[in-house]
Amino acid sequence: MLLRLSINALKVWSFLEIDEQSLMNPEQSHPLYAVDRELVNRLLAKTIPNEEDLVDLARLLIRYEGFSGAVDLKRDIIKSMEKWGFTREELNVKTRKIWQKGFKPGMSSNDVVGSGFDTADKDEK
């Protein structure tokens, strides 16, 4: 089976162990495939990733490393990484820095931390 891939994709492709055998035997399914499919679709739609997107992408690369199924998902993971201009090494370095800054899953850098007290709702007499 002939696949057209960039050099970076070939490195990741082999890292994820997508080979002719897994292309011929894609039946093995991952228990988190449905959840991950939605996540990968969201990542594919992003032009510019935020920190959480980068962490999710790196996490998915690790999750599907050595897994013989989910070939379509692996292809789309690689597409996202290439679209954002990262190699596997660059993504690892970037996400390591994100974690070192105190990143917590589910909390984007745009989330506002505060007391939740809103003085505008206060009745004035």
- Six-digit token string for 72: 């379509």
Percent pLDDT > 90 in the chain is 52
Query: What pLDDT does residue 66 have?
Result: 86
pLDDT digits (tens, 9 = 90+) for 13-61: 555 555 555 556 556 788 999 999 999 999 999 999 999 999 999 999 9
| Rounded-to-integer distance, Cα 106 and Cα 122, Å | 31
| Rounded-to-integer distance, Cα 56 and Cα 88, Å | 13
Average predicted confidence (pLDDT) for the chain: 79
Full-model pTM: 0.67
pLDDT above 50: residue 5: no
| Rounded-to-integer distance, Cα 53 and Cα 109, Å | 11
First-to-final CA distance of the chain: 77
| Rounded-to-integer distance, Cα 30 and Cα 99, Å | 26
